[in-house]
Amino acid sequence: RAANTLPQPLATHDLKRVVLLSRLGFPPQEGEQVAETLTGTLLYLQAKRAAETETSGDASLASAESRFATAVALQDQFFGKNQAHKLFSHRRQLEGYLLERRQIQTNPELSEQQRQQALADASQRFKATRDAEATP
């Protein structure tokens, strides 16, 4: 929520101030990590908002898939693939599953029986992936 109150787009001096303030109260190494993660988050949210503005109002499946792919690319860009996976894996799985369900439901080539089976298969894959990631 706090990120939403910051000026958009975030000026360089505003970003430097946020980084400086985010380091306070932490040992140097941890402060640097907090500042890095916060900076990535702010820049990611700014880029995501800009990308969403371009496709706002379009509820098509293709647009939803494009927004998802853009969000994943931006997450990887601003956090790195490993950190982005740690931060967003559950959300990515859920959004991917919901997109897959939408694809199945809007596929005119599937019979009702095929559609139900495809939805059940997608649900099983989602649960298996979710459970595998939850296991330490």
Tell me, yes or no, whether 29 and 89 share the same domain.
no
**Spatial separation of the C-alpha atoms in residues 33 and 37, rounded to whole Å:** 6
Domain of residue 124: give its range. Answer: 59-136
Residue 9: band (very low, low, confident or very high) from pLDDT cuts 50, 70, 90: confident
Distance of alpha carbon 37 from alpha carbon 34, whole angstroms? 5
pTM of the model: 0.79
pLDDT (0 to 100) of residue 87: 92
Residues 124, 88 share a domain: yes
68 and 47 fall within a common domain = no
Q: pLDDT tens-digit profile of 79-101? A: 999 999 999 999 999 999 999 99
Say how far apart CA 104 and CA 82 lie, in whole Å. 30
Does one domain contain both 40 and 87?
Answer: no
Is residue 127 located within the same domain as residue 73? yes
> How many domains does the chain fold into?
2
Per-residue DSSP letter, 109: T
